[in-house]
Structure 1
Amino acid sequence: MKYFKLIIILFLFLNCFDTAPQQIRLDSLLKIIKTEKNDSVKVNCLLSIADYYSNETPDKAIYYANKAKNTAIYLKNRILYARCLMEIGWYYYQLGNYAQTLKNYFEALKVYKPSELKYTSAVLTNIGDVFLEQKDYEKAKEYYLKALKIDEETLNKNGIAVINGNIGIVYEEQKDYENALEYFYKSLTLNKELLNEALESKNSHEINENKKEIAIKLGNIGNLYASKIENDKLTVNEKNELLNKALDYLLEGLKIDYELNRKNGIATKLGNIGILYKYTMNYKLAENYLQKALLVSDSIKAIKLMIEWHKNLSQIYEKTNQTEKSYKHYKKHIELRDSIYNSDNAKNSSQVELSYEFDKNMALKKAEKEKKDAIAKAEKRKQQIVIWAVGIGLILVLIFTTFILRSLKLTKKQKKIIEEQKQIVEEKQNEIIDSLNYAKHLQNAILPTAIEWQKHLPNSFILYKPKDIVSGDFYWLTQITTMEPPLLIFAVADCTGHGVPGAMVSVVCCNALNRVVKEFNITEPGKILDKTKELVVEHFTKGSEDVKDGMDISLCSLYYKTDKIILKWAGANNPLWVISSVILNDSEESNSKIDVSTHNDNYMLTEFKPDKHPVGKTDNNVPFTTHNIELQKNDSIYIFSDGYQDQFGGEQGKKFKTSQMRELFLSVQNKTMNEQKKIISYKFDNWKENLEQVDDICIIGVKV
């Protein structure tokens, strides 16, 4: 039965790309636009074209929707204009640009009159969707309840069904599964009633809309049952029952999505089925569904979905010991996640900038019109001067002279104002730079001094290259003198982001490390990271904002016995490299966590792999692993952030990559540590050339 379901899905998946009928419809719409004289018809055709492109190329959808909006403005048709704003907002929502989404939705809310309740409810619902996507659940619920009140007063069954489903999603995200299930079933029941009514009236638009909503609700219910499987208190039979329920609902919804060619719904359900199989450790089926989901998501540029599928594929490949594939998908997951994070962080400034640009453009247009009016008025005055020159020449000369003097005075005044404003801008810029330089001074104060570092680790180097004035990377050193022999603990950390945000996070993380060692007297690397994670999460959860910042780190403790050199190490996403003339082993870990694939004639590079979760808020709360390594004299230790290997450069503008970095480190083993630093730094600068540095860089090398 399971394989029969898989064959059906594969058949539907291949057939969903048959777009010939849609292409014929698109050609017809483009022809109508060229020939139609009625502008209202043109607006509707342009919006239909935008809808055609919305699933696969939202950028094209925005282009045609903006053309429709401009035509509606020309017609002075308020309702069409507001509808265009709603469509544009939806396409930006698909692209993950929430600043532009809210801008268009709130503008539409202004356009609609208070009496137009149906339209107002739709806008409020869409605004709630944006806050839901940003995980602001209380704000989302506030807008949904406003919309629900309107729909209940106007007996709008379609609106009530949609909002009940959305409120169900809010409760699901808040882990309130009972309320979530209640709202999902309410919504599903209403949509089935509405579908029956549409079938009786043969209203094709309503049929498709309700089928779409039914597919969404089936997916929501399937996901909810899947979430319950993670409960460790359930028996095997109970989990299997939930698995079958979840799979039935997801497959039923997926079938409808294929029928409607809803690629966003197809991608979502394929991916969720893949995650479901991952829970049951059926990794082959899980990989199959997630790869299909990734293909469809990529075709419609659904970045949020792609982030989730890459993460789960990385986890599957890690479980099945396919390290290279796991790393590839994890790296892509991080790149896409950071792009969304940076976009979200810029949201407020983008909104201010948009408002500013709009006001500026309006002011320029007004000034241009005034200038044209002034020129026309001057031309008319010149004609009058010519006509009356004979009779009142002297008076006109006096008037003209007065006019010139006033113009010169006004020009001089305007020039003075511009110069004053320029000076203010320059002063503000200098204040910002001074503040950043002082922040750099403060950040440097928390770093170990060169004297302190050389005192404890004389045969070592630090290569520290911040991307901006202040850095998200930092290095750390402390000595435990109460132990015999004394214990040295040192680390390289890479905090979330770079520049000012990264620097702020680095202060919190550095302070947490100091507290763990000095206040809690913890010296074992794995336990240091566990306690540091606890303090960092506690610090960032004090306020109302959901902050998930933290750091990736590679942390070592080193001490010398009479005849042994003992290194203990733990890592969060960042590895440890040891270069030696012999193969090293971890006394407590399997060889699956050690990579010795890189070597030359004289040396072997051993990579100790880190735990795959950061020091910060995460769903993975597995304790960090402490690795115990016995070193040989003249072995070299390297810990680092990811900025060096991620730098773009060279003749083809590609990344430096970890493999090339390994070869570089092996090639300098016959050099002193100071010479190694110079060679590694020169190689980086030569590789980067004139390209921008992409991230902060911090590398520590120690020869024991």
Structure 2
Amino acid sequence: GRVWATEAIQLQEEARDTSGLLGSYRIGGILAHIQGDQLEGMRLWERGYVLSVAYSSVVEQANFLQNLAIAYRGLDMQPEALASNLEALRLREDNQLGRIGPVLNNLGAYYSNKGDFETALQYHERNLAILKETEDTRRLAMSLANVGNCYFKLGQEETALQHVEEAIELVKATRWLREWSHSLYVYSQIRLAQQRPAEALQQAQASLDIAQQLEYTQGIYLAKEILYEAHKAMGHLQEALQYHEEYVTLKDSLASRETEKLALRQRYEEQARLDSLGNVKERQLQDSRLEASIRQRKQQTLFWGIGLFLSVVAGSIIFNRLRLTRMQRNIIRQQKDEVELAYKELDRKNQEILSSINYAKRIQGAILPKENRLHGLLGDYFIYYQPKDIVAGDFFWLQQQGGKTMIAVADCTGHGVPGAMVSVVCHNCLNRAVREFGLTDPAAILNKTREMVLAELTEAKEDLADGMDIALCVIEGSTLQFAGAYNSVCVLREGKEWPGLVAPESDIRFREHQDTQMLEIKGNRFPLGKFPTQKPFETRTVHLHPGDMLYLFTDGFSDQFGGQKNRKYNSARFRELLFSLHTLPPTLQLNGLKKEFMDWKGDFMQIDDVCVLGFKV
């Protein structure tokens, strides 16, 4: 199977068959894991994930992330497993892909292992609600046992028992032995905590019998721990001692597995380091030395073997060996020179690529509004623009037409060089919608921009699904018109009502904090780009007061992972931050946003471009 998968990958890479290659990476990784080669499986899945991101295959991204999360967890790489599960969940929920149950179960298991049973319970109960609508009794039983275990750890023992007893009844009927053993273990754990050791003993013994039948080491270990505690509580000291000794022996065995897991993780990290671009020269030099060393050992073995059996020709063999060694040294020296030359060529090409990207940054900077123009049209303002890479997919846009000021913040598909290329197309189409077609209504601008963006992208041979999320405001006097694709605008006002509000109530959300009100106008729930249903954008209108503070932003700030538990910053926390900063001068608001973002991100990697624009009416 693996030979077939390897050959398929080679053929599909040559043919540039992206769809087939994604499938081969996934299947090849599964086969490698089944045959015990975890590192090769992870390597194939990581390559598949990178390819799926490059080709915007959201379904495959979620699939590869789930596989990688399981692999990372198997090597005790918990931060990587958590990040992969959270991103897989986000992709499946945002794109309505379904099949979120396994991801929820993995997240519940992660937080249970961390001891955060409240968070674990949230994920397990979501999974349980989904499974109750299916006929998957095996996973339903395991989910009931997991929920029961969380309630037990949180001190709600009766609720825990109800869930575990329901799980036991299910597995008795379906004969899913592993799930039965686990459910009985959780039940015995609860009874032991309730100081009912006889019942705990009975259920733990049943769990042990099933685990031994399955040769399920972890289940045997857990059951014997309960049997030891139950016998000790009942005064059966000889039986308690016996189970304690067996429990300790199993614990040592599991510890040795952890050592093997650590060694495998170190091999993975070392391989990842050698696979990085910055270590190309070191890897090639090491490969050359290793090959020369292998050849040298083979020749030495041959020399001594011939010397033992053919002592008569020993002198001749020694002479030939010395000559061969000199030849090998020349070959190694030549290979070293070739590697150094290749490294220099690679470094030169890297410098050329970096120069091109920096030049692209200057081009992108040239199309963004300049500081004096922003100040002239917006007055007191700030802009927090933090690309993830040298160039960005986020951009901000400013125009004036017929006494109307138009300001927008947009998030194009991707980031880095691909995102920057899409942003130039979208920026140009926005300009054309205003300058060439004379449009000033925000919905009309977005409708015309979408028409032109789709026309530009569909000229390519490949069917591209690129586009952008955007928030667009048109201000004339005290009137604000707004239209958006997914993105919103927030208006903060000190202690005043909102007379003359013209907008559907479902698109408006009010928040209050002390004497401050926040009005959030939501954009339409579809992107500016290719989408199954092409609905027209809608304009919302509100009246502004002097002193109102307006904010437009992309999702890069709220989606950033960080903090003590490596979680998303999230939208609710971001809006609380705006409440706390809005009364400050714009310069101080900018400093506050920068400090909050960097403090939250800490040592974690920035995951997306960030763009936040604020100005005072």
Q: For the superposition of Structure 1 and Structure 2, which TM-score range results when normalised by the shorter chain?
A: 0.5 to 0.7
Contact 1:385 1:396 in 2 (8 A): no
Give the secondary structure class of the aligned counterpart of 1:548.
Answer: coil
After TM superposition, give the deviation of residue 450 of structure 1 in Å: 1.9
Find the counterpart in structure 2 of residue 541 from structure 1: 458
1:686 aligns with 2:599: yes
Find the counterpart in structure 1 of residue 302 from structure 2: 377
After TM superposition, give the deviation of residue 400 of structure 1 in Å: 5.8
1:519 aligns with 2:432: no
Find the counterpart in structure 2 of residue 509 from structure 1: 426
Paired residues for 1:57-206 under 5 Å: 69=1, 98-101=20-23
After TM superposition, give the deviation of residue 617 of structure 1 in Å: 1.6
Paired residues for 1:209-224 under 5 Å: none
Find the counterpart in structure 2 of residue 90 from structure 1: none
Runs of at least 5 residues in structure 1 that lack an aligned partner in the other structure: 1-68, 74-80, 87-95, 107-133, 137-262, 265-289, 301-361
Find the counterpart in structure 2 of residue 593 from structure 1: 507
After TM superposition, give the deviation of residue 629 of structure 1 in Å: 1.4
Give the secondary structure class of the aligned counterpart of 2:536.
Answer: coil
Give the secondary structure class of the aligned counterpart of 2:524.
Answer: coil
After TM superposition, give the deviation of residue 514 of structure 1 in Å: 0.4
Find the counterpart in structure 2 of residue 584 from structure 1: 498
Contact 2:288 2:336 in 1 (8 A): no
Find the counterpart in structure 2 of residue 696 from structure 1: 609
Q: Relative to 1, partners in 2 of residues 1:385 and 1:135: Cα closer, same or farther, differing over 3 Å?
A: closer
Equivalent of residue 641 in structure 1, options 535, 540, 554: 554
- Provide the rounded CA distance (Å) in 2 between the counterparts of 1:98 and 1:363: 34
Query: TM-score by structure 1 length?
Result: 0.47
Equivalent of residue 539 in structure 2, options 618, 626, 647: 626
Find the counterpart in structure 2 of residue 676 from structure 1: 589
- Provide the rounded CA distance (Å) in 1 between the counterparts of 2:485 and 2:515: 30
Contact 2:502 2:542 in 1 (8 A): no
After TM superposition, give the deviation of residue 388 of structure 1 in Å: 5.2
Find the counterpart in structure 2 of residue 476 from structure 1: 397
Equivalent of residue 574 in structure 1, options 467, 487, 490: 487
- Provide the rounded CA distance (Å) in 1 between the counterparts of 2:462 and 2:418: 15
CA RMSD for the aligned pairs? 4.3
- Provide the rounded CA distance (Å) in 2 between the counterparts of 1:428 and 1:298: 57
Q: Which amino acid aligns with 1:99?
A: L
- Provide the rounded CA distance (Å) in 1 between the counterparts of 2:26 and 2:580: 57
1:499 aligns with 2:424: no
Q: Which amino acid aligns with 2:303?
A: A
Find the counterpart in structure 2 of residue 42 from structure 1: none
Find the counterpart in structure 1 of residue 381 from structure 2: 460
After TM superposition, give the deviation of residue 622 of structure 1 in Å: 2.2
Give the secondary structure class of the aligned counterpart of 1:700.
Answer: strand
Once the two structures are superposed, residues 77-116 of structure 1 have per-residue CA deviations (whole angstroms, 9 ceiling, x without a partner) of xxxx79x999xxxxxxxxx98425357999xxxxxxxxxx
After TM superposition, give the deviation of residue 594 of structure 1 in Å: 1.1
Q: Relative to 1, partners in 2 of residues 1:421 and 1:489: Cα closer, same or farther, differing over 3 Å?
A: same
Find the counterpart in structure 2 of residue 554 from structure 1: 471
After TM superposition, give the deviation of residue 365 of structure 1 in Å: 11
Give the secondary structure class of the aligned counterpart of 2:330.
Answer: helix
Size of the aligned set, in residue pairs, is 373
Give the secondary structure class of the aligned counterpart of 2:349.
Answer: helix
Once the two structures are superposed, residues 589-638 of structure 1 have per-residue CA deviations (whole angstroms, 9 ceiling, x without a partner) of 13222111x32223111111111111112133222111111111110000
Query: TM-score by structure 2 length?
Result: 0.54
After TM superposition, give the deviation of residue 380 of structure 1 in Å: 3.6
Once the two structures are superposed, residues 96-150 of structure 1 have per-residue CA deviations (whole angstroms, 9 ceiling, x without a partner) of 98425357999xxxxxxxxxxxxxxxxxxxxxxxxxxx999xxxxxxxxxxxxxx
- Provide the rounded CA distance (Å) in 1 between the counterparts of 2:372 and 2:489: 25
Find the counterpart in structure 2 of residue 446 from structure 1: 367
Contact 1:525 1:626 in 2 (8 A): yes
Find the counterpart in structure 1 of residue 335 from structure 2: 414
Q: Relative to 1, partners in 2 of residues 1:591 and 1:558: Cα closer, same or farther, differing over 3 Å?
A: same
- Provide the rounded CA distance (Å) in 2 between the counterparts of 1:447 and 1:296: 55
Contact 1:595 1:606 in 2 (8 A): yes
- Provide the rounded CA distance (Å) in 2 between the counterparts of 1:525 and 1:456: 18
Contact 1:586 1:628 in 2 (8 A): no
After TM superposition, give the deviation of residue 533 of structure 1 in Å: 0.8
1:602 aligns with 2:515: yes
Once the two structures are superposed, residues 289-329 of structure 1 have per-residue CA deviations (whole angstroms, 9 ceiling, x without a partner) of x96799689999xxxxxxxxxxxxxxxxxxxxxxxxxxxxx
Paired residues for 1:647-662 under 5 Å: 647-662=560-575
Contact 2:395 2:409 in 1 (8 A): yes
1:431 aligns with 2:348: no
Q: Which amino acid aligns with 1:605?
A: M
Q: Relative to 1, partners in 2 of residues 1:298 and 1:508: Cα closer, same or farther, differing over 3 Å?
A: farther
Once the two structures are superposed, residues 196-220 of structure 1 have per-residue CA deviations (whole angstroms, 9 ceiling, x without a partner) of xxxxxxxxxxxxxxxxxxxxxxxxx
- Provide the rounded CA distance (Å) in 2 between the counterparts of 1:419 and 1:363: 12
Q: Relative to 1, partners in 2 of residues 1:636 and 1:135: Cα closer, same or farther, differing over 3 Å?
A: closer
- Provide the rounded CA distance (Å) in 2 between the counterparts of 1:476 and 1:505: 14
After TM superposition, give the deviation of residue 537 of structure 1 in Å: 1.1
Give the secondary structure class of the aligned counterpart of 2:385.
Answer: strand
Q: Which amino acid aligns with 2:607?
A: V
Give the secondary structure class of the aligned counterpart of 1:701.
Answer: strand
After TM superposition, give the deviation of residue 469 of structure 1 in Å: 1.4
- Provide the rounded CA distance (Å) in 2 between the counterparts of 1:298 and 1:677: 53
- Provide the rounded CA distance (Å) in 2 between the counterparts of 1:583 and 1:297: 53
Runs of at least 5 residues in structure 2 that lack an aligned partner in the other structure: 9-17, 29-54, 58-97, 100-128, 140-286
Q: Relative to 1, partners in 2 of residues 1:423 and 1:624: Cα closer, same or farther, differing over 3 Å?
A: same
Give the secondary structure class of the aligned counterpart of 1:521.
Answer: coil
Contact 2:288 2:332 in 1 (8 A): no
- Provide the rounded CA distance (Å) in 2 between the counterparts of 1:299 and 1:678: 53
- Provide the rounded CA distance (Å) in 1 between the counterparts of 2:393 and 2:310: 70
Taking only the aligned residue pairs, the percentage that are identical comes to 33
- Provide the rounded CA distance (Å) in 2 between the counterparts of 1:104 and 1:556: 45
After TM superposition, give the deviation of residue 376 of structure 1 in Å: 3.0
Give the secondary structure class of the aligned counterpart of 1:652.
Answer: coil
Give the secondary structure class of the aligned counterpart of 1:555.
Answer: strand
- Provide the rounded CA distance (Å) in 2 between the counterparts of 1:494 and 1:294: 37
Contact 2:473 2:480 in 1 (8 A): yes
Give the secondary structure class of the aligned counterpart of 1:625.
Answer: coil
Contact 2:404 2:475 in 1 (8 A): yes
After TM superposition, give the deviation of residue 467 of structure 1 in Å: 0.9
1:612 aligns with 2:525: yes
Contact 1:644 1:656 in 2 (8 A): yes
- Provide the rounded CA distance (Å) in 2 between the counterparts of 1:693 and 1:572: 24
Give the secondary structure class of the aligned counterpart of 1:583.
Answer: coil
Contact 1:512 1:532 in 2 (8 A): yes
Contact 1:85 1:104 in 2 (8 A): no
Moved more, 578-587 or 669-678: 578-587
Equivalent of residue 664 in structure 1, options 577, 585, 592: 577
Contact 2:482 2:539 in 1 (8 A): yes
Contact 1:467 1:693 in 2 (8 A): yes
Give the secondary structure class of the aligned counterpart of 1:612.
Answer: coil
Contact 2:487 2:554 in 1 (8 A): yes
Once the two structures are superposed, residues 257-294 of structure 1 have per-residue CA deviations (whole angstroms, 9 ceiling, x without a partner) of xxxxxx99xxxxxxxxxxxxxxxxxxxxxxxxx96799
Paired residues for 1:252-267 under 5 Å: none
